[in-house]
Structure 1
Amino acid sequence: MTFRGRPGLFRDARRLLPSGRGPLLRKALPVAAALPPVAAAWIGVTGWLAHSELRAAQDDLNALRTAVTAAAASGPAAASAGAPAESDQERLLRSAAAHAARAHDLTTGPAWYTAAALPLVGGPLETVRGIAQASDRLAGDVLPPLLRAVPRLTAGAHTGGVPRALTELGGQAPAFDRAARAADEVRSAVRRLDRSTWLPAADRGRAQLADQLDRLVPRTRDAAVAARWVPSMLGTQGPRRYFLSFQNTAEARGTGGLPGAFAVVRADRGRLTFERFGNNTELEGVGADVDLGDEFEAQYGNNGPAAVWANSNMSPHFPYAGRIWTEAWRTHTGQGLDGAIAIDPGTLGLLLRATGPARMPDGTELTADNTVDLTERASYATFTDVAQRKAFFVEAARAAAARMMTAFDDPSLLPALLSAVQDVQREGRMQLWSAHPAEQRLLETAGLAGALPDTPGPFAGLVVNNAAGTKLDYYLDRSLVWSPGACTDTGRAVTVTVTLANRAPVSGLPHYVTQRVDHPPYPTRAGDNRLLVSYYAGIGATLTGATLDGRKVALIPGAERGHPVYTLDLELPRQSSRTLVLHLREPRADHPPTLLRQALVTPMRATVRPTEPCGS
C-alpha cells in the first residue's frame, strides 16, 4: 500500500532524470518538458504529500491490527470493560480512512489526470493514482465492516459464549458480502495497473499492494461465506447431528485415509457434544442405498464402495463419501444425519498446537508433535491385539475431542483455534458435507467440501488408494511435476512426471502393518506395498502415451465428474521409487493447473513449470 523504507517516488525520479541516459529517457524527457512548470511542480508536491498520507494510513492500520489482536485474545474482564478498546479501534480506523482519502484527493484533478495519460512518462503517475484510490476504498469500504465485527464477536463470545458469537456472526453476513465484493473490485483494479514502469518505487508499491490484496480477498470471501453457513450448521436454527470420521492416512484412500474411529456429533445453538464413539468394525458389512450415478459406478463399482466400509471413500470427491457414510448410519441405526465431517491425525495435531495437549485415560499425552506418529506408527508396535488397538484409537479420538470442546468454550483460545482451522483447511485435512443443499453449495464455495471441481481448465490430480491392505502409506513419498509444452490447433502438450517412493524399513515393522491382504500371485517381501495410482487430468484432455520407469505402460482409462482419469495398478517394493510419466493433450489455456492435493502423512511435493501464452 505504501513505499515503506524508500526515500520517496520523486527522489527516485531525480536520480534518473539528470543523467538523461537510455533510449526510454531520451524519448520521455521532451514529452515531460511539455508539461507546464506549474503543473509539474503541483504533481511533485502533491505526490510527496500523498506518499506521506499513505504512510500515515499504513501506520494506523498496523496499530489497529495490534489492537484487534489484543482485544480478541483478552479475557472476559477486558471484554466486559471493552468500550475504550473499541473506541481506540474506531479512532484508528477513522484516521486510516481519512489519510487514505486525502491521498486519493491529492492524486486527482486535471494535472494528475493529464500527466498520467502522457505516453512513456505517465506510467508511474497512473500507478500512484491507482494505489491511492485502492487504499481509499480499502480503508473506507472493505476494512470497516470486517474490523467493526471483531469487537462484537469477541464480546459475544465472552459474555454469552459461542452461541452468542455465532448469532453475531450471522448478523454480519450482509456487511461481509459488501466488503468481499469491494475487495475483489479493488484487487481487479490494481491488477490492471502497469507492472513495469520507468520508476521502480512505483512498481514496488503496486506489487506490495497486490500481494496484500491477494491475501485479503480470500479472507474477506471466506468471512462472507462463513457468516452464512457456520451459524446454521452449528445449530442456531435447531439441533444438528453429523457423522465424524477419523481417517487413518497410514492406509491411503481417495479422501485421505481409511475411515477408522468415528463419532456422532450434536450441534445445538453452538454447543458441540459427542453422542457416540465407535470404530470401523461396527460398520463393516453395513450397506448404503445410494445412487451416485453411472460414472461413479463405472469407476468404483467393482470395489463395492456402498457395501464395503473400507472402500467407501475411494473417490477423492468427499460428497460421495459423506452420502455413503450418512446413509450407512441410517441403515445401521435408523437415525438420520445432517452431514459428515472427515479429519485425520494431522488435523488433531494442528488443533492441539492451539489448545494444548490432551490426556488419555491411561495417562498417554497427545500433543501437536506426537499425535500422527502415536496413532499411525507407534500404536501398531504397542498393541498386537487388534481389538485393543482399535479401542486405543477410539480413546485417542475421545481425548482429543474433549480437549477441543474445552477450548471451544474458552474465548481466549478462539483466535488460536481459528488460525489452526485455517492451517487445517489449507492442507486439505478437514472436509465437510452437508445434507442441506444450500449449505453444501456454500461449503464448496469456501473450499471446505473436498469437492472434485467439474469446471473446465487445466487440472492436475494425483490420487492413490492402498490396494494391499497394509499400513505402509505412513512411509510413502509423492512428487508431481507438471510441465506444459507447445500449443497446437488441438490444444497444449503437457508432460506429467509422478514419482512414488516407499521408505518402509527392511525389518522391524509389525506383521499387521506389512501384511498383504490382497494375496498377490507373485512373491513379495515384508514392507512391499501396492497402490492404485490415478491421475486426474483437465476436462477435455486426452492421454497420448505413458511410461513407467522409462518403459511404455498401458493405463486404465476412466472418468469422474467430467475429468479423464488414468489408473495404474502399481507394485511398490520397500526402499524403492518408481516414476510414471504421462504425456497428455490438454485444451489450450494460458494459466497453470488447479492442483488436487490428497492429504496423507507426508504432503505431496508439487512443481508447476511456467506456462507460456498460446497466442492468438
Structure 2
Amino acid sequence: MPAVPGPPGPAQGVFRLRRPLRRPSVRNTLLAAAVLCVAGAAWIGVTGLLARSELLNLEGELSALKQSVTGSSGNGTSVSPERTMQTAAAHAARAHRLTTGPAWYMASHVPCLGRPVTTVRGIAQAADRLAGDVLPPMVELAARPTDDARHDGLQALLSELRGRAPALEQAARAAADARSLADGLPRVSWVPGLDGARAQLVSQLQQTAPAMADMAVAGRVLPSMLGVDGPRRYILVVQNTAEARGTGGLPGAFAVLTADQGRLRFETFGTDTMLASVRPAVDLGAEYRAQYGAMDPTGTWANSNVSPHFPYAARIWTAAWSKHSGQRVDGAAAVDPSALARLLQATGPGRLPDGTALTADNVLDLTERTGYARFADSRERKAFLLGVARAAATRFTSALSTPGQLPELLKAAYDITQQGRLRVWSAERREQSLLQQHPLAGALPSQPGPIAGVVVNNAAGGKLDYYLERKLHWIPGNCTPHGRKVTARVTLDNRAPASGLPPYVTQRVDKPPYPTRPGDNRSLVSYYASSGARLTGATLDGQPVTVGNSVERGHAVYTLDVELPAQSSRTLTLDLLEPISNRTPVLLDQPLVTPTRARLEAVSVCE
C-alpha cells in the first residue's frame, strides 16, 4: 500500500515560498520609488539652482544689451549688441534645457506642490522664446550701422524695415506665444520669489509683445505709405482737445503733405474755415447715420470726428480735401497739441512768425489756453494756430534731414502712438487691414469681447474741456445664468475757474433754456460696453436717469446729456448685465488734455 503523502515541507511548499518572496519585492519597489523621488528632487534642486544662475546671467546680459543699443553704458567701452544678444540667448537656452525632462515634467503635475515647478519651467521656456526668437530681429534693426554724414536716414530705415518684415512677423508671433505662456502660469505658488519673477516676466511681455506686433506692421506698411513705391499724399489734422470730439478734439488746423522715398514735404496749410462748406459724398452705413446723423458729421467739419472710430473721420477728411482741391488723397492722420509737445521735445524748439519760441513746454498752453486770451478776433487766432502748425512742421522736417536725430524722432512717434495721440488711416485696403489690428489705427474693435470706455463730445461749443478730468471705475460682479453683473462708474470733474476766462472759451453756442454761469460746460457722455451688454439701471449723482442706447460696431453704447457746472463733479453710474468673460476689458481711452484715470477691477472666474 503506497504511503500517504504528508503535508509539504519547507522545500516543497509552493505557498510558503511565494509569501516570503512578495514582501521583499514590495519593499524593494517602495525603496526604489523612494530613491527615485529623492533623486528626482535632488535633480530638480540642482538643475533649478543652475537654471536660476543662467536666468540671472540672462538678466545681466539683457541689461547690458539695452545699454549697448541705447548707448547709455557710460563707461566709454563699446559692446557689440549682436554678441551680447547671442550670449543672452545662450543663457536662456541653457535655463530652458535644465528645466525639461521627465523629473521636471512629473513634478510639475503634482497637485499644489507642482505649482512652483510649473512656474520655473514656464519662466525658463518664455525667457528662451524671448531671447532666442523675439529680441534678435529687434536688436539687429536697432543696432544697424549709421553714418552721421548721411541725410537719408529715414529712407535707409524704410529699406531695412521692408527687408526684415518676415523676421519681424515671426518674432511678433513668438512674442505673442511667450506672453500667452507667461499669462497661463500659476499666479500664486508657495514660493514668493517665484511669484515676483512671474509677475516681472508678465509685465515685460505685456510691453514687448505689442511692441513687436507694431514693428511687424511697420515693416509691412510704412515703406509703401511713406512713398517707397511712389509718392503718397495725406491730410494731417491737428485736433484741439480743449473742445472734445470722439477721436480726441475739434478738427482745427490741418496740413496736406506728400511722402516720396521717405522724404516728407508739406504742400498746404489750412484751417477749419477752408473746409467748412464742403460736403463730401461719404456713406458710412446705416448704423453710423442712426448714431450720428443728427450731428451732420459729413457736412459739418466741426462734427466730422464725433465717433471714436478714427477711420470714419479719416474717410470724411480725405473726401473733403479731395472734393475741395481735386487732388487724390491716399490717407489721413491726426495729432493734437500734446503730441506736438512730445515731438518738439525730440526736435528742439521752433519759432513763430512773431518771434515767440515754440517749445515742448508751451505749445499746449499756447494753443488751448493763453492763445484765446491773446486774440479776441477769430481770424487772428486762427492765423496764430496756423503759424503754430507751420512752425512745428518746419521743425519736424528739418530734424528728419538732420543726421543723428532720427532715433529720437522715432521714440517720440512711438510714445505719442502709445498715448493714442497719433492716428493713421490708409485708403489702400491691404495697408488699412494691417493697421486696423493695432492702436495706431484708432479703430473701435469690431470683434466680440469685453470693452469699457468713456467718450465725451462737447455740447456747449466752448473750449472748457481743457479743464475736464475723467474717471472710470469698472466693477465686475456676480455671474448669473444670463451674464455677469457689471457696474461702470463714470465721474466728470470740471476744473474750470469760475471767473477770468475769455468769452470765446466760456461761450454757450448751445443756448440752453436754463441759466448758466461762465465756466459751466455741457457734454454728451457715452459709455461703450461689451457686445451684447444690457442696461439694468442708471443714475446721475444717485438719482435715476434715462440714457439713450445704441450700437456701434457691435458694441453697446449708452449716452447721456450732462450739464457740468464750473468747479463741480458729477457721477454717472450704469448697472449692466454683460456676456460672461474671464478677461479684463479692453480700455477705450479717448485722448484729451488729461488722460482718463481708469480703474478696472480684477475679474473673478465664473464656474
1:107 and 2:99 are equivalent in the alignment: yes
The worse-fitting range, judged by mean Cα deviation, of 360-369 and 394-403 is 360-369
Give the deviation of 1:455 after TM superposition: 1.6
1:216 and 2:216 are equivalent in the alignment: no
Instruction: State how far apart, in whole Å, the 1-side matches of 2:32 and 2:582 are.
Output: 36
Give the deviation of 1:122 after TM superposition: 4.2
2:595 to 584, 600, 603: 603
1:449 and 2:441 are equivalent in the alignment: yes
Equivalent residue runs for 1:193-592 within 5 Å: 193-592=185-584
Q: What secondary structure is seen at the aligned counterpart in 2 of 1:290? A: coil
2:61 corresponds in structure 1 to 60
Instruction: State how far apart, in whole Å, the 2-side matches of 1:46 and 1:577 are.
Output: 59
Q: What secondary structure is seen at the aligned counterpart in 1 of 2:488? A: strand
Instruction: State how far apart, in whole Å, the 2-side matches of 1:156 and 1:221 are.
Output: 29
The answer to whether the 8 Å contact 1:481/1:607 transfers is yes
Q: What secondary structure is seen at the aligned counterpart in 2 of 1:464? A: strand
Q: What secondary structure is seen at the aligned counterpart in 2 of 1:310? A: helix
Give the deviation of 1:611 after TM superposition: 2.1
2:19 corresponds in structure 1 to none
Give the deviation of 1:114 after TM superposition: 4.5
1:101/1:263 CA distance change after superposition, 3 Å: same
1:263/1:585 CA distance change after superposition, 3 Å: same
Q: What secondary structure is seen at the aligned counterpart in 1 of 2:603? A: coil
Q: What secondary structure is seen at the aligned counterpart in 2 of 1:448? A: helix
1:471/1:609 CA distance change after superposition, 3 Å: same
The answer to whether the 8 Å contact 2:152/2:401 transfers is no
User: RMSD value over aligned CA atoms?
Assistant: 2.5
The answer to whether the 8 Å contact 2:304/2:316 transfers is yes
Q: What secondary structure is seen at the aligned counterpart in 2 of 1:241? A: strand
The worse-fitting range, judged by mean Cα deviation, of 460-469 and 104-113 is 104-113
Question: Is the radius of gyration larger for structure 1 or structure 2?
Answer: 2
The answer to whether the 8 Å contact 2:464/2:519 transfers is yes
Q: What secondary structure is seen at the aligned counterpart in 1 of 2:531? A: coil
Equivalent residue runs for 1:63-142 within 5 Å: 63-70=64-71, 88-142=80-134
1:535/1:130 CA distance change after superposition, 3 Å: closer
Q: What secondary structure is seen at the aligned counterpart in 2 of 1:499? A: strand
1:551/1:187 CA distance change after superposition, 3 Å: closer
Task: Give deviations 1:288-334, integer Å, cap 9, x for gaps.
Answer: 10111111111111111111111111111111111111111111111
Give the deviation of 1:37 after TM superposition: 5.0
1:180 and 2:172 are equivalent in the alignment: yes
Instruction: State how far apart, in whole Å, the 1-side matches of 2:39 and 2:551 are.
Output: 68
The answer to whether the 8 Å contact 1:531/1:572 transfers is yes
Give the deviation of 1:558 after TM superposition: 2.1
1:35/1:318 CA distance change after superposition, 3 Å: same
Q: What secondary structure is seen at the aligned counterpart in 2 of 1:445? A: coil
1:386/1:190 CA distance change after superposition, 3 Å: closer
2:22 corresponds in structure 1 to none
Instruction: State how far apart, in whole Å, the 1-side matches of 2:477 and 2:123 are.
Output: 37
Instruction: State how far apart, in whole Å, the 1-side matches of 2:149 and 2:95 are.
Output: 38
Query: Deviation above 6 Å: which 4+ runs of structure 1?
Result: none
2:26 corresponds in structure 1 to none
1:12 corresponds in structure 2 to none
Q: What secondary structure is seen at the aligned counterpart in 1 of 2:441? A: coil
1:102/1:477 CA distance change after superposition, 3 Å: closer
Q: Percent identity?
A: 59
Give the deviation of 1:112 after TM superposition: 4.0
Give the deviation of 1:283 after TM superposition: 0.9
The answer to whether the 8 Å contact 2:154/2:406 transfers is no
Give the deviation of 1:563 after TM superposition: 1.9
The answer to whether the 8 Å contact 2:153/2:406 transfers is no
Task: Give deviations 1:346-400, integer Å, cap 9, x for gaps.
Answer: 1111111222221112111122221111110101100111111100000001101
Instruction: State how far apart, in whole Å, the 1-side matches of 2:73 and 2:421 are.
Output: 26
Give the deviation of 1:111 after TM superposition: 4.3
1:169 corresponds in structure 2 to 161
Amino acid paired to 1:65:
K
Give the deviation of 1:174 after TM superposition: 0.4
Q: What secondary structure is seen at the aligned counterpart in 2 of 1:451? A: coil
Instruction: State how far apart, in whole Å, the 1-side matches of 2:221 and 2:595 are.
Output: 29
Instruction: State how far apart, in whole Å, the 2-side matches of 1:479 and 1:545 are.
Output: 20
Q: What secondary structure is seen at the aligned counterpart in 1 of 2:333? A: strand
Instruction: State how far apart, in whole Å, the 2-side matches of 1:327 and 1:157 are.
Output: 41
Instruction: State how far apart, in whole Å, the 2-side matches of 1:156 and 1:37 are.
Output: 62
Instruction: State how far apart, in whole Å, the 1-side matches of 2:543 and 2:84 are.
Output: 65
Q: What secondary structure is seen at the aligned counterpart in 2 of 1:539? A: coil
1:111/1:367 CA distance change after superposition, 3 Å: same
1:611/1:138 CA distance change after superposition, 3 Å: closer
Amino acid paired to 2:511:
H
1:221/1:156 CA distance change after superposition, 3 Å: farther
The answer to whether the 8 Å contact 1:153/1:168 transfers is no
1:68/1:487 CA distance change after superposition, 3 Å: same
1:54/1:287 CA distance change after superposition, 3 Å: same
The answer to whether the 8 Å contact 1:153/1:165 transfers is no
Query: How many residue pairs are counted as aligned between the two chains?
Result: 576
Q: What secondary structure is seen at the aligned counterpart in 1 of 2:120? A: helix
Instruction: State how far apart, in whole Å, the 1-side matches of 2:458 and 2:184 are.
Output: 47
Q: What secondary structure is seen at the aligned counterpart in 2 of 1:152? A: coil
Instruction: State how far apart, in whole Å, the 2-side matches of 1:412 and 1:454 are.
Output: 41
Q: What secondary structure is seen at the aligned counterpart in 2 of 1:175? A: helix
Q: What secondary structure is seen at the aligned counterpart in 2 of 1:266? A: strand
TM-score, normalised by the number of residues in structure 1:
0.88
TM-score, normalised by the number of residues in structure 2:
0.89
1:534/1:52 CA distance change after superposition, 3 Å: closer
Give the deviation of 1:130 after TM superposition: 3.1
Instruction: State how far apart, in whole Å, the 1-side matches of 2:454 and 2:147 are.
Output: 45
Give the deviation of 1:188 after TM superposition: 2.5
Amino acid paired to 1:537:
A
1:137/1:487 CA distance change after superposition, 3 Å: closer
Unaligned residue ranges in structure 2 (runs of 5+): 1-30
Instruction: State how far apart, in whole Å, the 2-side matches of 1:254 and 1:319 are.
Output: 12
Instruction: State how far apart, in whole Å, the 2-side matches of 1:514 and 1:316 are.
Output: 25
1:156/1:126 CA distance change after superposition, 3 Å: farther
